[in-house]
Amino acid sequence: MNKLKQSNRRGWRPDWDGFLEMIQVLLQKPVRTALSGLGVGWGLFMIIITIGSANGLQNGVSQDLGDMAKNSMFMWTQSTSMAYKGFQRGRPIDLTISDVEYLAANSQILEAVAPQNQLGGWQGSNNVTRGLKTGAFTVFGEYPEQQLIEARPLLTGRHINSRDIQDKRKIAVIGERVRDILFAADEEAIGGSIRINGVNFTVVGVFTSMRSGEDAEEDLQSIRIPFTAFNQAFHMGDDVGWLCLLFDETVNADSAAAEIMSVLKARLSIHPDDNRAFGHWTVAREFEEIQSVFSAIRWVSFVFGGLALLAGIIGIMNIMLITVRERTNELGVRRALGATPGVVVRQIMGETLVLTVLFGLMGAILGVATIEGIDALLESMPDMQGGSFRNPEVSIDIVLQSLLTMVVMGGLAGILPAFRAVSIRPVEAIRTE
């Protein structure tokens, strides 16, 4: 009891001598040690690289969606596929402002409704002029609520507001590329006048895009004007091209779509089971599909990396078994001099863990450094930015989980060699040449 108390007062101290002895044993045959540990390092390296790459792909694809709200939906009309209430099959469906108002008043899940119309296209014929400069741009008529669904950061000026809608103001918020094409570099865009299909609009804001690739280019070459001014200027009456909707984030995307279409079907005398009268695209579903795909990729990466790690661990176990056989005489001497089975087990398992952890850490560090290097390379190359591979990364949790898995597997790999060493009888081992 007194010895125990004295030991507790001294506290636990690491056995540095034992650790150095393990290192010396491993360095006796450096080539064999390196080759056996290489498999473990490669397994950790592959886990980090593949998961980091999967995250890079996910980041790129997610960025393509810009800053669209995850609980948003885009809906448009098509034609009926079922006869109903005296209407023939194939009846084209059109939406008006009164239909939008009805939907907003009767839906229980909608937080915002933003009807939209479109004119022209950025890859079409020229439809916008300013003096002698012309360009082909996509022109949208929209409501202020559109910013809740698709956020577009302003570079200068303002967005469309409710007063613009009420007064049918002929104002325009233009994309960055529109400004660069129609305005000189030293010219102020705010307050400038542009002509859209012969109708004058005053620029009140310039926005940029949070998307990437062609989606970003399309966004930056667009013009946003009040919905009411759009319909008045281009003789659209009360027609609505499509709906941009924001629903309660607690509601499932499929349930939200079903509820919204149910309200519109009742309003427009469409058969309740007619699922072709409306088309829709839900951002939430897109995000869910992205998450599920890349989660599967990460799990596959982890499995294959784990198999590579397992192969490395098996290699280490085989090497340690060979080492134990080669050190039969040494282990016998230790036992004869009073080394307990526990001491021998700790020695062999310690060597296995040191070998595993050392090369595992090297693989993990190299993997993280490679991911960081790729990220830095992409950042330094403007032509590579905005693609579908962006900001590859690996979380510290993944690294720690991989290292923990490696330590556990390394410990298991040392069990068989350790007990093989314990099974050696001291007298017979000493006699072994």
pLDDT at 310: 78
Q: Does the pLDDT of residue 89 top 50, yes or no?
A: yes
Q: How confident is the model at residue 382 (pLDDT cuts 50, 70, 90)?
A: low
In the chain, where are the structural domains located? 16-65+288-431, 72-284
State the Cα–Cα distance between residues 348 and 353, nearest whole angstrom.
Answer: 9
List pLDDT tens digits, range 315-371.
Answer: 778 777 777 776 666 666 666 666 677 777 777 777 778 778 888 888 888 988 888
Q: How confident is the model at residue 234 (pLDDT cuts 50, 70, 90)?
A: very high
Q: Does the pLDDT of residue 90 top 90, yes or no?
A: yes
The Cβ of residue 374 has, within 10 Å, a number of other Cβ atoms equal to 18
Q: Which long-range contacts (CB under 8 A, 24 or more apart) does 230-238 make?
A: 230/117, 230/119, 230/139, 230/140, 230/141, 230/142, 231/117, 231/141, 232/168, 233/170, 233/196, 233/197, 233/199, 234/119, 234/141, 234/197, 234/199, 236/117, 236/141, 237/96, 238/96, 238/97, 238/98
Q: Which residues does 346 contact at the CB level (< 8 Å), separation at least 6?
A: 18
Q: Does the pLDDT of residue 26 top 60, yes or no?
A: yes
pLDDT at 309: 74
pLDDT at 12: 46
Is 406:360 a contact under the CB 8 Å cutoff?
A: yes
Q: Which residues does 196 contact at the CB level (< 8 Å), separation at least 6?
A: 119, 127, 128, 139, 172, 223, 225, 233
Q: Above pLDDT 90, what percent of the chain? A: 39
The residue with greater pLDDT, 115 or 289, is 115
Map tokens 């690289």 to a residue.
49
The residue with greater pLDDT, 17 or 7, is 17
Q: Does the pLDDT of residue 373 top 80, yes or no?
A: yes
Give 106: exposed, middle or buried? Use CB within 10 Å, 0-12, 13-18, 19+.
middle
Question: Range with the lowest mean pLDDT among 240-244, 358-362, 412-416?
Answer: 412-416
Is 275:374 a contact under the CB 8 Å cutoff?
A: no
pLDDT at 2: 47
Q: Does the pLDDT of residue 214 top 90, yes or no?
A: no
pLDDT at 66: 55
Is 176:135 a contact under the CB 8 Å cutoff?
A: no
Q: How confident is the model at residue 133 (pLDDT cuts 50, 70, 90)?
A: very high
Mean pLDDT of 244-263: 91
Q: Is 279 helix (H, G, I), strand (E, B) or coil?
A: strand
Q: Across all residues in the chain, what is the average pLDDT? A: 82
Q: Which residues does 48 contact at the CB level (< 8 Å), separation at least 6?
A: 305, 363, 364, 367, 368, 370, 371, 394, 398, 399, 402
State the Cα–Cα distance between residues 51 and 376, nearest whole angstrom.
Answer: 17
pLDDT at 11: 47
Amino acid at 236: M
Is 102:92 a contact under the CB 8 Å cutoff?
A: no
DSSP for 33-72 reads HHHHHHHHHHHHHHHHHHHHHHHHHHHHHHHHTTTB-TTE
Q: What is the pTM of this model?
A: 0.64
Q: Does the pLDDT of residue 190 top 70, yes or no?
A: yes
Q: Which residues does 428 contact at the CB level (< 8 Å), separation at least 6?
A: 332
Three state DSSP letters for 352-378: HHHHHHHHHHHHHHHHHHHHHHHHHHH
pLDDT at 224: 97
The Cβ of residue 356 has, within 10 Å, a number of other Cβ atoms equal to 28
Q: Does the pLDDT of residue 379 top 90, yes or no?
A: no
DSSP for 227-248 reads HHHHHHHTT-TTEE-EEEEEE-
